[in-house]
Structure formats: C-alpha cells, structure tokens
Amino acid sequence: MTPDFVPHDSNAGAGQAREARRQRLILAAVGAAVLVAVIAWAMKPGGQSAGRPGGRGADAGRPIPVRAVAASTGSVDITVDALGTVTALKTATIHSRVDGPLLQVPFREGQRVKAGDLLAQIDPSTFQAALNQAEGQLAKDEAQLAGARVDLDRYTGLLAKDSIARQTVDAQRFTVQQLEGAVRSDKAAAENARLQLTFTRVSAPFAGRVGLRQVDPGNMVHAADANGLVVLTQTHPIYVVFAVPSEHLAQIYPHWSRGDALPVQALDRDGKVVAQGTLAAVDNQIDTSTGTIKLKAQFDNTDDALFPDQFVTARLKMHTVSGATLVPSASVQRGAPGTFVYVVNADSTVSLRKLTLGPASGDLVSVQDGVRQAARRRSGRVDRRQHPRRRRPGHTHPDPRSAPAPAPRRRDERPQRMTP
C-alpha cells in the first residue's frame, strides 16, 4: 500500500520565520528604550528621589558650613610607628635542683615577690641525713689525722736520738699526708651535702611577678622536669621590641650613638598612650627578608600598664622640625588635582591651591610647598568632585551638587565679589 504524502508549503514557513524575527526585534527595541530611560532617570540630579527623604536631591538646598582658618607656624615631631611586643626585663623558669617530694608552695599565683623569697620547699630529710653522715666521716678522719701527727712527732724525736729507723719515720709521714687528703675529701663531701640541703628551699633569684604554678604540693619533683615549678618575670622596668624600616636608621643611629634619649610611646589598639619610655638598644644587623631593623625601648612600667608578650604600637620620635607651616588635617582635600586646599583670596574669593604635605602632628599637618603662613584655608564640608564656586568665608551656601558646574572663567575675567 502506498503512503499518502502531505504537501509542504515553503512560503508559509518562511513567513512564520520572518514574523518571529520581527517580534524579537520589537522586544529588543523596547528593552533598549527602557534601559535608556532608567539610566537617564538615575543620572538626573533633580529626579524623583529629590522628593523622598534621604534621596540624592534631599541635600540639594541644604547649606554647608564654611570656616576659614589661618595657617600657623610651629614645630612638628618626626615619628615612626611600628608594631611591638612587650618583653620582660628578666624571665626565669624556676626549676628544682634536687629530687624529692614537694612539701609546700608558699606563694600566691600572680604575686609580686622579692629576691630571696621562698617559692617552694622540698622534703629535706634525706639530704639532712646525708649531711650528718658526711660530717661524721669528717670527724673520724680528723681524729685519725691527729693521732698520726702525734706519732710522727714522737718518731721524729726518736730518730734524732738514733733510736728508730728512718724508714719508720718516713712511713708515718706518708700516713699523715694520706689522712690529710682524706680530711679534705670529707670536708668537700660535707660541703656538698650541705649545699644539696639548701637546694631543698627554692628561692626567687630576682624580684618580679610569679605566674601560675606548674606543680602542686605532694608531687615528686625532679631536676630534669621540663616545665619547672613556676615562671618568674621582672617587669620593672620592661622592654618593648619593635622593627622599623631600615631607611630610618640614618636618622635614629646618630642620636642613639651620642647617648641622646629618644622618646618612645607605647599605644594600645585604640591609639591611647599607655606608657612613656626611651630607646634602649639598636640591633647590630638588618633583617634582609623584611628590610627592617629591630629596636628595643625601655619603660619604667611602675603602674603595670604593660605585660609581657603584649602587642602595642611603638611610636619613636626621631627629631623635631621647627618653623614648619601647619594646617588642619580636615582642610586638606584629595581629588583629581591631587592633594589641595581651598585658599581664601584677598578679595574674599576662594581658589584651589595644590600643595605638598609633610609629617603630621595630631590634628595638624605640615606643608612643605603650596601654602604660606599668611594664607587662610577653608575648612568644612566640601564637594570634591568639582571646583567650588566663589564664596565668602563665614557664610553658608547651597550644596554645589544641586546646581550645574560653573562655566570656566576666562583669564581676562576678574572674579566678582559676592555680597551677603
């Protein structure tokens, strides 16, 4: 049986394809138009957002404060900041020098102790018995030595009368010398036993603060214990070790080698000064991996503001620059022209002045070039995106963002003075 063939209309298929392409083009054109409208609405400065609180146009008519401050001349400190670690003046892990049961630990954890204070007591009975035995042996040998010396004197008298052989006298003399050596050995043994007995009292080698005890009373302690009994640190005074870039060494080392007291401040993480000290030491080599050199500052730390292994910011004052031009840090602006300030001219107009900054000191920053002492700078809230319009200091004016940017002024055009 022969199958029936359905005729295919090619013209109808081509028409459907053209219709589908036409619909896609229409949708693309509509989408592009909507996108352009959204972009134009977003870029419009006085758009719909101006009527809403907090929108871009909400601050359009709000005045901004303007204040003129005269540049001043003063001194500014050249400092360098670096992260430092607090290090105790002395740190000692207290170990027992003899083995034995620990009887008592009389200190309180965290307590300040003086040099020679008792830190631990080990059972002394074994060492006391050894001392008694050594002293008994010493007494026995001393008695034998005394008898031998008496016999030697007697034999020497008989030899003078030719009543005894010289060999007997010589033998007695050697016996005396042998006993004298035994006595010296006994004395050393007794002294060693006495020393071992003193080791049962563990004392503080220097004044400082004890940490947490590592062994409780009743335990057997050994001289080979790795942790020891307690850690003792001396924190009056105390050190801060920090590293600064090696390029500062040329400014630091001449002062330190002459014995000048370079001041160092220790600051906490909030920038608050917690201690005042001086530079105590400079390392003898530069770390090639970091390009820094280690410094050590000493602090009295009488108020215990610094603790060992604490992280602080060390601020080293290298020298002081006198006669520098100082401006408030708030008046310095940064934008497309670079670093600049707004300077009030003699005709009460404001102009932009590019400058080169120097070291800062607190809320003031020194200016190396661009502003003289007599100049006045405008400080306050400013729009950094465009050159501000001329305005008089002491008055408030609308935000320049709410108005179009002013046309550039020709060279032969003189600025007009604004009246309040």
The per-residue pLDDT for range 211-228, each reduced to its tens digit, is 999 999 999 999 999 999
103: region left, alpha or beta (phi > 0 left; psi from -120 to 50 alpha): alpha
Please state, in angstroms and rounded to a whole number, the distance separating the CA atoms of residues 199 and 122. Answer: 8
Please state, in angstroms and rounded to a whole number, the distance separating the CA atoms of residues 262 and 77. Answer: 12
Cα–Cα distances (Å) from 140 to 117, 194, 295, 361, in that order, read 37, 18, 62, 81
- 68 and 327 Cβ atoms separated by less than 8 Å: no
What is the average per-residue pLDDT within 280-299? 94
User: What's the one-letter identity of residue 31?
Assistant: G
Query: Structural domain boundaries of the chain?
Result: 66-75+323-402, 124-199
Give pLDDT, residue 67: 72
Q: For the ranges 35-39, 81-85, 118-122, 237-241, which has the lowest average pLDDT?
A: 35-39
The per-residue pLDDT for range 86-139, each reduced to its tens digit, is 999 999 999 999 999 999 999 999 999 999 999 999 999 999 999 999 999 999
Please state, in angstroms and rounded to a whole number, the distance separating the CA atoms of residues 136 and 182. Answer: 13
Give pLDDT, residue 294: 95
For the whole model, what pTM was predicted? 0.61
- Assign a CATH topology to domain 124-199: Helix Hairpins (1.10.287)
Q: How would DSSP label each residue in 143-160?
A: HHHHHHHHHHHHHHHHHH
The reply to whether 66-75+323-402 and 124-199 are identical in fold is no
Longest dimension (CA), the chain: 168
- Assign a CATH topology to domain 66-75+323-402: 2.40.420
Please state, in angstroms and rounded to a whole number, the distance separating the CA atoms of residues 269 and 1. Answer: 97
- 64 and 382 Cβ atoms separated by less than 8 Å: yes
Q: For the ranges 124-128, 156-160, 299-303, 394-398, which has the lowest average pLDDT?
A: 394-398
Which positions ≥6 away from 404 have C-beta within 8 Å?
A: none
Q: Who wins on pLDDT, 12 or 399?
A: 12
Nearest to residue 180, comparing CAs of 144, 151, 132?
A: 144
Please state, in angstroms and rounded to a whole number, the distance separating the CA atoms of residues 420 and 417. Answer: 10
What is the average per-residue pLDDT within 387-411? 45
